[in-house]
Amino acid sequence: MEVLQAIKERRSYRSYLDRPVEEEKLQAVLEAGRWAPSVMNLQPWRFIVIKDQDIKDRLKKSCQETLQKIYQASGWGWVSRFSLEFLSQAPVIIAVTGDPQKTGADQFILETGRGYAFSCCAAVQNMHLIAHALGLGTLWFTLYENDKVKGILDIPKELDVVSMVVLGYPAGTAAQVKRKPLEEMVSVIG
């Protein structure tokens, strides 16, 4: 698949079939993450592959509590209606954790370095793209509280759960979303 085609066609899926992801495809997704660029090539990530149903159910329950908090703070209607069923439904969730100590030169100019998180996000995007090219669906998921997820997954407290990649065969079609035109996001100097 052409890279630009994959970039444009990838969509977020919030509903998944009860169908496992083939091991070769899962390995390809992890491999795409491994080859992401990272600050000073520090590769500050760990990819935690979650297939266990009980753990997925516990994540869903924890995230439901988090959604409640977000709703109370924001009052946003969509938050109260947002279903987290996909966390139990999807066959695989990959938690991408990053080590804030492995953040490169920005630790000397920022209070909290960002290089480690940028690197993890590059890995996450690689995973989304290869998954799409392999006929899988994904969701970039961040509606969780770090401490709660670290407790459930037994992740050392010094690490940051940067994002989760929900992975599986999609059920149904994705919401059709648009992008703003380039003119609204580009300015040229010179």
Ligand X SMILES: Cc1cc2nc3c(=O)[nH]c(=O)nc-3n(C[C@H](O)[C@H](O)[C@H](O)COP(=O)(O)O)c2cc1C
Give residues in contact with ligand X (CB under 6 A): 11-12, 14, 139-143, 174, 177
In whole angstroms, how close is the CB of 108 to ligand X at the nearest point? 26
CB atoms within 10 A of CB 95: 23
Nearest residue (CB) to ligand X, 177 versus 188: 177
Nearest residue (CB) to ligand X, 24 versus 47: 47
In whole angstroms, how close is the CB of 159 to ligand X at the nearest point? 18
CB atoms within 10 A of CB 186: 7
Instruction: Quote the radius of gyration of the chain (alpha carbons, Å).
Output: 17
Nearest residue (CB) to ligand X, 73 versus 188: 73
Name the DSSP class of 2: -
In whole angstroms, how close is the CB of 78 to ligand X at the nearest point? 10
Question: What is d(CA 104, CA 109) in angstroms, rounded to the nearest whole number?
Answer: 10
Nearest residue (CB) to ligand X, 43 versus 125: 125
Phi, psi angle pair for 160, to nearest 5°: -115, 125
Question: What is d(CA 153, CA 12) in angstroms, rounded to the nearest whole number?
Answer: 24
